Amino acid sequence: MSFTFAHNNLNVADLGRALAFYGEALGLRETRRIEAPDGSFTIVYLGDGRTPHLLELTWLRDHPQAYNLGENEFHLAFTADDYEAAHRKHADMGCICFENPSMGIYFISDPDGYWLEVVPPAK
């Protein structure tokens, strides 16, 4: 028996805002969508167009409060083929929330407060 990664899920308060952020900041695009017949939820899968891994964004109609992210110790990581250009873009967007220059990484924060790590290509 073996397992492979399929997707990671993040719940979002404003689906349109989240889709715009992930498109602009990371170039992720919608691959498919599931909508509840009663309108109670929408699930959107985003992909990078190069790997099979997906990010699932879930919007729940009856969850109007902000999500409790605890200490926000979990995160997703993205490799940037042009790390310096990515850093400039995210600085211009104002979404960099933490930098660790000694490790050569930084984090951006999405509209719901989830942290996303950006790393240079492996050498």
pLDDT tens per residue, range 8-28: 999 999 999 999 999 999 999
Q: Is the pLDDT of residue 5 over 80?
A: yes
Integer Cα distance of 35 and 20 in angstroms: 19
Residue 61 to residues 29, 39, 122, Cα–Cα distance (Å):
22, 7, 40
Res 122: pLDDT: 81
pLDDT of amino acid 4:
82
CA-CA distance, 60 to 115, in Å (whole number)?
Answer: 20
Of 30, 56, 71, 117, the catalytic one is 117
Digit-coded pLDDT (tens) for 41-100: 999 999 999 999 999 999 999 998 888 887 777 889 999 999 999 999 999 999 999 999
- Predicted local confidence at residue 48, as pLDDT: 96
pLDDT at residue 99, rounded to an integer: 97
Residue 123 has pLDDT above 70, yes or no: no
**In this predicted structure, what is the pLDDT of residue 43?**
98
Q: What is the 3-state secondary structure (H, E, C) of 21-69?
A: HHHHHHCCEEEEEEECCCCCEEEEEEECCCCCCEEEEEEECCCCCCCCC
Between the two ends of the chain, the Cα-to-Cα distance in Å is 32
**This prediction's pTM:** 0.90
The verdict on whether 117 is a catalytic residue reads: yes
